[in-house]
C-alpha cells in the first residue's frame, strides 16, 4: 500500500508541474506564433489529462474485491491506459491537420519567446520523467503516462532544435515539419498502448508466456495424464490467471492430489510468475465418458 501511495503522490506532483508547462507553452506559442510550441503545449495538456486518469486509475485499481466485483477493480488500470492512448492519438491528428492548414502561409515566429519557453518545457518534462520512471514497468497505466512524458521531453528537444534552425536559416517550414514529427511520435505510442490494452481486454495470453510451453510443463508433472480447457489471461498488466481441467492417469488419494497440485503451482509460479490458478482434477474415466465438465 505504501508503494501505491508513493505512486499517487508522484503523479500528483507531475500533474502540477505539467499544468505550469502547459500554461507557459500555450501563452508562449500564441505570442511567438510557433505551431511546434503550441503542439508541445497540446501534448502536455494531454499529459495532464492522462495523468489525472492515471491517478484515479491507480487509486481505484487497488481497491479490495467485493462480492459484486470478485476481481476487485484491477481493470481500471487498463481503462485508464485506453483513455490515455486515445487522447494521444486524437491530439496527434489535430496537430497534423493544423500543420497541413498552415502550409504556404506566411507567419512570423518570435524566436526570442519560442526558445526560452521550449527550454523551460524541456526541464519540466525531464523532471516529470524522473518522477515517474520508478513505476513505469509496474503496470500499463503508469507506462502510458510515462510514455506521454517521455515523448514530451523529446518533442521539447525538437522544438529547441527547430528554433535554432529557424534562427540560422529563416525556414519557417521547419516549425511545421517538427510539429508533424511530434504528432507522429504521439500517434505511434498511442497505438502501441491501445494494442496492448485491447489484448488484455480480449483476455489474450499475456506477452512473454508461451501457451504450448505452459501446457507441456503441466503435462510433465508426474500423475497428470492430460489437460484440456486451458486458459491463460490477465485482468491487468500485472496479475496473470490460469484455469484448466487436468485428468489423472489413475485414481489418487487426497494427499497425493495435493502433492500434484503443489507441483503444478510451483512450476507455474517459478517459471511463468503465475500465482492465480484454478485447476480441476478429474479421473481419466470421467473425461472418457464425455461428461459435461469436460466439454470445451
Consecutive 10-residue runs of the chain (296 residues): their mean pLDDT?
60 80 82 75 72 70 74 76 81 83 69 77 82 67 71 78 80 80 82 87 88 92 88 84 86 76 90 88 64 48
What is the rounded CA–CA span in Å between residue 163 and residue 278?
59
- pTM equals 0.69
Q: Checking DSSP bridges between strand 276-283 and strand 240-248, what pairing results, if any?
A: parallel
Task: Answer for the pair 66, 165: CB distance below 8 angstroms, yes or no.
Answer: no
Task: Answer for the pair 24, 126: CB distance below 8 angstroms, yes or no.
Answer: no
Chain length of the chain: 296
**C-alpha angle 224-226-230 in degrees, rounded to nearest 5:** 110
Q: What does each C-alpha distance from 203 to 198, 199, 236, 240, 271 come to in angstroms?
A: 9, 6, 10, 10, 21
Residues contacting 268, CB < 8 A, separation 6+: 214, 217, 218, 242, 274, 275, 277
pLDDT at 239: 81
pLDDT at 214: 93
Residues contacting 16, CB < 8 A, separation 6+: none
Give rounded-to-5 percent helix, strand, coil for the chain: 70, 10, 20
Residues contacting 36, CB < 8 A, separation 6+: 114, 158, 159, 162, 175, 176, 178, 179, 182
Give the model confidence (pLDDT) of 97-121 as tens digits.
878 887 776 666 666 777 787 788 7
258: which 3 cell numbers? 495435493
pLDDT at 218: 92
Q: How many other CB atoms are there within 10 angstroms of residue 49's CB atom?
A: 17
Residues contacting 227, CB < 8 A, separation 6+: 215, 218, 219, 244, 245, 246, 247
pLDDT at 292: 47
Q: Classify residue 205 by burial, with Cβ atoms within 10 Å: 0-12, 13-18, 19+.
A: middle
Amino acid at each position: 500500500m505504501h508503494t501505491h501511495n508513493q505512486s499517487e503522490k508522484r503523479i500528483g506532483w507531475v500533474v502540477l508541474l505539467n499544468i505550469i508547462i502547459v500554461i507557459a507553452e500555450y501563452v508562449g506559442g500564441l505570442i511567438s506564433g510557433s505551431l511546434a510550441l503550441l503542439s508541445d503545449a497540446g501534448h502536455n495538456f494531454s499529459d495532464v489529462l492522462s495523468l489525472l486518469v492515471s491517478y484515479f486509475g491507480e487509486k481505484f485499481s487497488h481497491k479490495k474485491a467485493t462480492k459484486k466485483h470478485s476481481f476487485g477493480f484491477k481493470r481500471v488500470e487498463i481503462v485508464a491506459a485506453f483513455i490515455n492512448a486515445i487522447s494521444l492519438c486524437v491530439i496527434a491528428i489535430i496537430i497534423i491537420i493544423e500543420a497541413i492548414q498552415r502550409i504556404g502561409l506566411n507567419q512570423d515566429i518570435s524566436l526570442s519567446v519560442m526558445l526560452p519557453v521550449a527550454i523551460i518545457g524541456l526541464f519540466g518534462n525531464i523532471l516529470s520523467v524522473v518522477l515517474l520512471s520508478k513505476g513505469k514497468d509496474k503496470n500499463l497505466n503508469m507506462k502510458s503516462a510515462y510514455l506521454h512524458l517521455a515523448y514530451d521531453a523529446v518533442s521539447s528537444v525538437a522544438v529547441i532544435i527547430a528554433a535554432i534552425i529557424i534562427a540560422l536559416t529563416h525556414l519557417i517550414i521547419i516549425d511545421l515539419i517538427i510539429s508533424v514529427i511530434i504528432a507522429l511520435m504521439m500517434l505511434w505510442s498511442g497505438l502501441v498502448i491501445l494494442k496492448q490494452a485491447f489484448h488484455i481486454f480480449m483476455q489474450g495470453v499475456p506477452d512473454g508466456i508461451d501457451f504450448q510451453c505452459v501446457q507441456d510443463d503441466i503435462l510433465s508433472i508426474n500423475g497428470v495424464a492430460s489437460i484440456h480447457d486451458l486458459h491463460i489471461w490477465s485482468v491487468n498488466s500485472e496479475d496473470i490467471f490460469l484455469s484448466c481441467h487436468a485428468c489423472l492417469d489413475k485414481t489418487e488419494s487426497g494427499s497425493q492430489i495435493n502433492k500434484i497440485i503443489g507441483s503444478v503451482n510451483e512450476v507455474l509460479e517459478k517459471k511463468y510468475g503465475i500465482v492465480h490458478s484454478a485447476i480441476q482434477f478429474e479421473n481419466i474415466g470421467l473425461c472418457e465418458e464425455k461428461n459435461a465438465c469436460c466439454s470445451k
